[in-house]
Amino acid sequence: MKKISKVLMIISLLMTMALNIGQVKAKTNNLVRNWDFESENNEGWEQNKVGHVIDGVSYGDGNKAGVVPSDCADGYVGQYIYNLKPNTTYKITVQAKVDTDGAKAILATRVFDNNPWEYEGKPEKDQILKEMAVTSTNWQEYSYEFNTALNTNKVFVSLVKWAGVSDSNYEAVKKCNAYIDNVIIEEVNSIEVPEEDYNLVWEDQFNGEKLDLDKWRYETGYVRNKELQEYVDSEENVYLENGDLVLKATKKDEPVTVTIDGQDHKMYYNSGSIESFGHQDVLYGKIEMRAKLTNGKGFWPAFWTLGSEWTSEGQLGEGTAWPECGEIDIMEAPVQSPDGVNKTTWATIHYQKNGSYQKMGGEYKFSEDLADDYHIYGINWTPEKIEWYFDDIVFYTADISDIENFQKPHFVKLNLAVGGSWPGNTIDESKLPAEYRIDYVTYSQTEEQKAAADAFYANAPQISGVKDIKVLKGTPILQENGESGLDLLDGVQAVDKNGKKLTVGVSTLPSTFDTNTVGETMLVYTAKDDSGVYGRTYATLTVVDLPVKDELKKLIEDVELLNADDYT
């Protein structure tokens, strides 16, 4: 019995020591002053609109807690957290509760400069790092992570009660006491991109003399966002140099005017935009580039994707328009700072859910100008999540497990915009010509990512009989009105996963063309099954101009190459 008693005493002592060590660790690593509200002078806690520290209520063995009391539908108790590191993830953990059924308080982490309730000219949404509803009537742990991307040194953490008189829960919010205790904020160690076995699927190292048009196509003209550039396929604006793809923005001699929504819009610059549409899709995997960005106010380099079923105002036949097609912004870096120094890369997804447009994303702030050196920008995409990384450090993760827009193929885009709705139209022309230099773009997959992608393709509509077509200049194309001509759908058919025959449509990119012009046009074949899943495949229509005498000359040369004994 004595031995058992000693063992029990030792176990009890070890457990007590472990508990104390855990508490010391929380206090040592915790950035919150007076984290358990037990300080005599209520150190650290800001109080406003009757929010305060209360005696006689506590989580655990303490005697105090923070409270936003009853008879108030608008108040808070909170604390500034100082000396935070830039581009760093922190985790907040609290104990909180409300004492009225149907009531709600908000655990909020926000960015304020001086006064927690003055927005200082900024939209409120730009100050919210993270919020979480507190609805339990018993003490419950609430926790989330936030990143300091919107402010590099301090945030304001608070428990807030707020409801308007027209809100359905106004009376419950006003009636309740909202409590908070044991507030812990600790730095989360940086997460590195996992070292897994990735197999290269597709890449461009840009080591040739010209852009590889078997991998990319040019995006040309005015495209979006009321930007001030016209995308061109000029070798002055899109070219390869020293192993880099260079997208260059230059000033036009004279602006070009286009009509947008019935209003004239001028484009003052030329720039470059390329995409893998029709050449390479991506679905799950690691999509990465190494690049040196441009600086100068008003410039906007980007690396992103769109769903491959994308269509624009019916120009590509049946498909889905933005945002239903889905968009993944792997890197966007609009230069907004007055000094024109570019230190921020943005990660965003745009999509449609339940019939409405939605987005989510984060940002990464670097300590130096992103135009000074090459850096890696990428995503690791699985059916469950997309992780964004900068130089191999993951800085944002989005849960996409229930977002259909990101469970289907996308294509890759690279562009350098000038002005527009995000950076604004004040352009630092002293930086012209502005260069966005891309060292490489790669797409690779683990075996698990490949299997998930293969499963999608196996169940998507299958289109067969598609082939490249070459015609002589002036050849008529079969028209819907019954006029005779070349049938672009001849021999083409599609079936769903069960073998059911589907209708196939064909459209072209660019959307308008005629066979009186020598050149190439992309043919886009599209089929959709009964569940709304799209399948697409592509071909090239080439218009050539060979006069009859040249055709005969070529035939004679071919005959001369043959052995006379081989034919009659």
CB-based contact 481:555 (threshold 8 Å): no
User: Is 327 designated active site?
Assistant: yes
The token duo for 157 is 């953490």
Q: Per-residue DSSP letters for 356-409?
A: EEEEEEEEEE-SS-TTSS-EEEEEEE-SSEEEEEETTEEEEEEE-TT-GGGSS-
Name the active-site residue from 219, 309, 324, 332.
Answer: 332
CB-based contact 87:343 (threshold 8 Å): no
CB-based contact 287:330 (threshold 8 Å): yes
From the number of C-beta atoms within 10 Å of its C-beta (0-12, 13-18, 19+), residue 479 rates as exposed
Name the active-site residue from 324, 327, 363, 435.
Answer: 327
Q: Per-residue DSSP letters for 227-255?
A: -SEEE---TTTEEEETTEEEEEEEEEEEE
DSSP lists the bridge partners of residue 133 as 106
| Beta-sheet pairing, 505-509 with 501-502 | unpaired
Cα–Cα distance, 442 to 452 (Å, whole number): 19
Cα–Cα distance, 362 to 149 (Å, whole number): 8
User: Is 332 designated active site?
Assistant: yes
Instruction: Give me the residue label for tokens 């074949």.
Output: 525
Which one-letter DSSP state was computed for residue 155? E
Residue 30: which residues within 8 A CB-CB, separation 6 or more?
184, 185, 186
Instruction: Give me the residue label for tokens 């002589």.
Output: 472
Angstrom CA distances, 278 to 399, 459, 489, stand at 28, 20, 18
Q: Find the helix or strand (DSSP H, E) in which 17 lies.
A: helix 2-29
DSSP lists the bridge partners of residue 259 as 264
**Active-site amino acid positions:** 327, 332
